[in-house]
RNA sequence: GGCGGCAUAGCCAAGUGGUAAGGCAGCGGUCUGCAAAACCGUUAUCUCCGGUUCAAAUCCGGAUGCCGCCUCCA
């Protein structure tokens, strides 16, 4: 099955063909490390992590590069405000980034370069652009001459004349054209700076990504991703820089994820309407956040709310309950199902398996893929709910193999189900101010009362437990309990 | 103003030509001492108006509403 990817450049789905055989080069613009990450960063990270995982699952040899922008005005401002160096600020928020992202189960990219460690490459690239007539120096600053690059605006669909009309020039800038953007900035006193042919200074925002992507992936590579807001000017400028310098096609496929919104408004630092990943993970499972992201198509905007996250969390628990059932089936024993039912089940599982991969192949349609997985969960419940002996058959193994593969790609449902559910129970139990012992003691009393058929008193205990936030289920194997959903 | 995107059930959300996945919630049922969980059943003239087509949520034109980019932003 061919993988089809929506490419921002052509604004259409294209069949994916890597430049170098089985190898895939993938670059994603990471964060500027000056503050904690919010849900929007989480979504982007989860989306590209899943794409990375899927490409690996399709047996591509993927080199995944995700950078840190660790030199920038915002970092410098924060450093000044807090009496720290820019390096210290960057270092701190890189650590915070990992603290959040590790919890979201992000697979480590192949390389996570920092701009400040690639100054040499950046300077080389700027020099090359000057040599080619795409850039010019004005007293220590170097600017990219946008009009020197044929096709500027081709990614974002912008017309250069219209951009010109709205372009602004900051005071003190000596651009020849308002559209031109800085490749190298002369440092002001007290700012971090590096030696360069144009005096001490630091790189502009866009040049680092051109330098680092080329360093790790070559002059042309397969996939380049980031948030929608990076299309212009960031990615437009990257194209101008890289193609201006090499004369070669920079990137084959441009991928952009949609925003997280709250109340239909973009979640962003400047609007102040954001939740940090950290505060959300205090109250919800990391995998619930992941599932929430993957239940929407990555290009669509997503309205974030407590309710939608809670719904995702419920779906997560329900799925894990099915998996606990599946993994708890004895490996040997009398087959449960009649042969013809088994065969029908087996066919249905193949269908779902194919559906999962067809959805993923269609521009990483994780929502469609998840629907197959949820269907599978229901099949597990239907067929194995009351199993007391397991069929030693390929069907259970087949289901399990499918689940493991899907979980490996999506990064949800990849924990041990029993451990996952019981740790959730412990956590929430503590939140209710209860202990396991106390709950179980009440259940024992109730069991005795039920034996004596004193249902009224038994039900009173059940009601009391529910009042305290515990729901119980009487099963053939005994009474089990869990934290009630609020 | 320029460019782009979105509008699918109570809510969330897949689906780009052949009469609508999935999640959450609701209702009816099975099971249960009663519940719960699980399962089964049930819940959509796909924003509106035109057009193309044997056939449209899906393509084209228009309207309305919402959002994004054009300035730092995932």
Third-level CATH fold of A316-418: 1.20.120
Highest CATH level, class, for A4-279: alpha beta
CA of residue A428 to C1' of nucleotide B39, angstroms: 28
Q: What is the pLDDT of residue A389?
A: 52
Q: How deeply is A358 buried, as exposed, middle or buried, from its count of CB atoms within 10 A (0-12, 13-18, 19+)?
A: middle
Question: Matching CATH topology for A4-279 and A316-418?
Answer: no
Enumerate residues 6+ apart whose C-beta is below 8 A from A72. A32, A34, A205
**pLDDT digit of tens for each residue in chain A (486 aa)?**
799 999 999 999 999 999 999 999 999 999 999 999 999 999 999 999 999 999 999 999 999 999 999 999 999 999 999 999 999 999 999 999 999 999 999 999 999 999 999 999 999 999 999 999 999 999 999 999 999 999 999 999 888 888 887 776 666 678 899 899 999 999 988 899 999 999 999 999 999 999 999 999 999 999 999 999 999 999 999 999 999 999 999 999 999 999 999 888 899 888 888 999 999 999 999 999 999 999 999 999 999 999 999 999 999 999 999 999 999 887 766 666 667 778 888 999 999 999 999 999 999 999 999 999 999 999 999 988 866 555 557 888 899 999 999 999 999 999 999 999 999 888 888 888 889 999 999 999 999 999 999 999 999 999 999 988 899 999 877 898 988 876
Residue nearest to nucleotide B71 (CA to C1'): A168
Predicted pLDDT at A75: 96
Angle A153-A154-A160 (CA atoms, 0-180°, nearest 5)? Answer: 30
Nucleotide minimizing C1' to CA distance for residue A12: B16
Residue with smallest Cα–C1' gap to B12: A308
In sequence order, the β-bridge partners of residue A482 are: A471
Q: Indicate the domain borders of chain A.
A: 4-279, 316-418, 434-483
Nearest nucleotide by C1' position to the A268 CA atom: B73
Q: And the tokens for A221?
A: 């590579």
Distances (CA, A) of A424 to A21, A48, A325: 44, 27, 17
**Residue A154's pLDDT is what?**
92
Nucleotide whose C1' lies closest to the alpha carbon of residue A259: B74
What CA–CA distance (Å, rounded) separates A109 from A120?
23
Which nucleotide is nearest, taking the CA of residue A225 and each C1'?
B74
pLDDT of residue A476: 79
Nearest 5°: phi and psi at A95?
-60, -45
DSSP notation for A435-479: -HHHHHHHHHHHHHHHHTT-HHHHHHHHHHHHHTTEEEEEETTEE
CA dihedral A267, A268, A272, A276 (to 10 degrees): 80
What is residue A477's predicted lDDT score, i.e. its pLDDT?
A: 79
Task: Quickly give A297 CA vs B15 C1' distance in Å.
Answer: 11
**Integer distance in angstroms from CA A132 to C1' B12?**
52
| Nucleotide whose C1' lies closest to the alpha carbon of residue A72 | B72
Question: CA of A253 vs C1' of B47, distance in Å?
Answer: 33
Q: Which nucleotides along chain B are within 7 A of a protein C-beta?
A: 1-6, 11-16, 21-25, 32-40, 66-74
According to the model, what pLDDT value does residue A393 have?
72
**pLDDT at residue A433, rounded to an integer:** 86
Q: Using the structure, give the distance in angstroms from the CA atom of A347 to the C1' atom of B42, rounded to a whole number.
A: 27
| Confidence (pLDDT) at A333 | 65
Count of residues in chain A: 486
Question: How confident is the model at residue A415, as a pLDDT?
Answer: 98
- Residue A264 CA and nucleotide B66 C1' are separated, in Å, by 8
The pLDDT score that the predictor gives to residue A272 is: 84
Q: Please name the residue that has the structure tokens 């080199």.
A: A63
* Residue A45 CB burial class (10 angstroms; 0-12, 13-18, ≥19): buried
Q: What is the pLDDT, as a whole number, of residue A171? A: 65
| The pLDDT value given to residue A432 | 85
């Amino acid at each position: 099955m061919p993988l089809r990817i929506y490419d921002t450049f052509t604004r259409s789905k294209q069949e994916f063909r890597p430049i170098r055989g089985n190898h895939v080069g993938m670059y994603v613009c990471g964060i500027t490390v000056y503050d904690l990450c919010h849900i929007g960063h989480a979504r982007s990270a989860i989306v590209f992590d899943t794409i990375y995982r899927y490409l690996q699952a399709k047996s591509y040899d993927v080199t995944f590069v995700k950078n840190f922008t660790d030199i920038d005005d915002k970092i410098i401002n924060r450093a000044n405000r807090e009496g720290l160096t820019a390096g210290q600020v960057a270092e701190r928020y890189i650590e915070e980034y990992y603290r959040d992202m590790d919890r979201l189960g992000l697979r480590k990219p192949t390389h996570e370069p920092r701009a400040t460690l690639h100054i040499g490459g950046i300077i080389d690239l700027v020099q090359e652009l000057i040599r080619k007539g795409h850039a010019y120096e004005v007293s220590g600053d170097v600017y990219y001459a946008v009009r020197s690059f044929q096709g500027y605006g081709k990614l974002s669909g912008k017309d250069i004349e219209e951009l010109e009309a709205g372009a602004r020039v900051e005071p003190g800038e000596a651009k020849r054209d308002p559209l031109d953007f800085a490749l190298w900035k002369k440092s002001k006193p007290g700012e971090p700076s590096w030696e360069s042919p144009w005096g001490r200074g630091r790189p502009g925002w866009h040049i680092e990504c051109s330098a680092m992507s080329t360093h790790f992936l070559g002059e042309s590579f397969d996939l380049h991703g980031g948030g929608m807001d990076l299309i212009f000017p960031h990615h437009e400028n990257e194209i101008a820089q890289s193609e201006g310098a090499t004369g070669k096609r920079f990137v084959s496929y441009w991928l952009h994820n949609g925003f997280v919104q709250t109340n239909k408004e973009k979640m962003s630092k400047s609007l102040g309407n954001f939740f940090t990943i950290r505060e959300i993970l205090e109250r919800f499972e990391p995998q619930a956040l992941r599932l929430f992201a993957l239940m929407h198509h990555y290009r669509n905007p997503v309205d974030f709310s407590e309710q939608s996250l809670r719904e995702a969390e419920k779906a997560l628990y329900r799925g894990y309950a099915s998996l606990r059932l599946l993994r708890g089936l004895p490996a040997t024993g009398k087959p449960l199902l009649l042969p013809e039912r088994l065969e029908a089940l087996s066919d249905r599982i193949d269908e779902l398996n194919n559906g999962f991969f067809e959805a993923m192949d269609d521009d990483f349609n994780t929502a469609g893929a998840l629907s197959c997985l949820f269907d599978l969960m229901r099949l597990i419940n239907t067929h194995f709910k009351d199993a007391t002996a397991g069929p030693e058959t390929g069907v259970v193994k087949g289901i399990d193999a499918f689940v493991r593969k899907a979980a490996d790609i999506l990064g949800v449902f990849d924990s041990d189900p029993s451990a996952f559910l019981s740790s959730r129970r412990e956590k929430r139990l503590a939140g209710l101010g209860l202990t396991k012992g106390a709950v179980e003691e009440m259940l024992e009393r109730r069991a005795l009362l039920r034996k004596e058929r004193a249902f009224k008193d038994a039900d009173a205990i059940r009601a009391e437990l529910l009042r305290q936030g515990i729901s119980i289920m009487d099963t053939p194997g005994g009474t089990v309990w869990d934290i009630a959903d609020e």
